[in-house]
Structure 1
Amino acid sequence: MKNFIRRIRVLLFRVLFQNSSELVMPGKVLIVAPHPDDEVLGCSGLIQRLLNEGKQVDVAILSGGGKSHAGCCKIDESTLIESRRNLSRKAAEILGLSLEHLHFLDYPDGCIAFDCSETDLLKKLIKTLQPKVIFVPHKGEGWSDHLEAGRIVQKLVGEMADVLLYEYCVWFWYYNVWNIDRKKAFVLTMTEEELSRKNEAIDAYIKPKAPCGNPWSGVLPPVFVWANRWRKELYFRSEK
């Protein structure tokens, strides 16, 4: 019953947001992903569109996703991290993102927080890249690492007047989030080719199996994966 209700909510939101303004971006974008796969689930269309327009895109993946098999098996966490990062590299290649623009940090999976030592490295990365726009997970994601990723970036760029913040949607589609400002919503409508490559990049994460038989990225709810395969990507302008 819960998954049925989730599907109805997703379909309702697709109707509500399908006519939102199309997202238009300036150059130099940084996408901040809490775990390996969030950048693909939420921003594959955006990555492709910007690259096709000749604009610079960088992706910072904060954690290695080493807890994806917690309670599942005894695969070593370092093995999980390296395997998931290899999936990230494969997905980036599918989307046309050069690996020099894919950045891995070492925040602890499940415990991303501002006071982690990795925040200094993220701050240096932002200073080096000087992005015009930074994308973070939506504040209604309902997943602690996703929420903290957004808060960390907000603190780091709060006084940077020339940096815009946008939120992208991943677990937003799965959790019961209703308090949404539709006036700040934007969509990116993918072409058939862009959607095809997004689905290929998603599959690059969720299809490869670990020795235990489950995907390296962990078992994701089918309704969650289905929701993120929509032809449109949903974004929200965020206040710093």
Structure 2
Amino acid sequence: MRYVAIGDSFTEGVGDDRPDGSVRGWADLVAQGLADATGQPVLYANLAIRGRLLRPIIAEQLGPALALGPTLISFNGGGNDMLRPGTDMPWVVDQTQHALQQILDADVEPLLIAGANPTIGLPRGDRVQAKGDQLTAAAVDIAHRMGVRMCDNWSDPVLARREYWSLDRLHLAPVGHQRVASNVLRALGFAHPADWVIDAAPVGAPSRRDQLRYTREHVLPWIGRRLTGRSSGDGRTAKHPEFVRVDPR
């Protein structure tokens, strides 16, 4: 199997840090899970870059992904678009469908992936919730009409709980990435490895002091980047632009 993942920080693996400062994430775990389940090495590439909107995901990642000659491409995008006011959601839906068609036309299997729902911890999360609900419903419809597999993490009620998210409340914690990887493997017809931790102990609502710290350390810097046109992904490149071999354990 030759597996390529494209997307933004969700697919890159932000929130699941390794000791050396690099990130792992659900797509890395899926590659390992596929190797373990099949007993065969998996060639794996990950072109995702944090901060990317849907347009550059398609423009900058899809072509190189197809050029690698994969048998499977996981596609996720639109999460950063949803966080911005005035997003043209019908355009996001239309572009998602076109991207899937390009993958199918290349005789590659696409896996459409809906991101997890972070809105419990976000300011004005109800607005993001509405956009996410709209995009996910449209994605389910697209997958059904096009006959492609889909992994709907947005509708997983467990992933929506606080304990599955990192301190910035936008990116999954390690246990969240493992749960997403489990969902993805299930969508592909495989079980997750028995040593994965996909359940977390509940945590309480943040205190007022926690909220103030969160605003100072995460919300205000995010707003600052938006106002200055900067992105968390500026200057970054894909972590696995070429295939790496993942052997079964």
In which range does the TM-score fall when normalised by the shorter chain? Answer: 0.3 to 0.5
TM-score (norm 2): 0.38
TM-score (norm 1): 0.39
* Structure with greater proportional strand content: 1
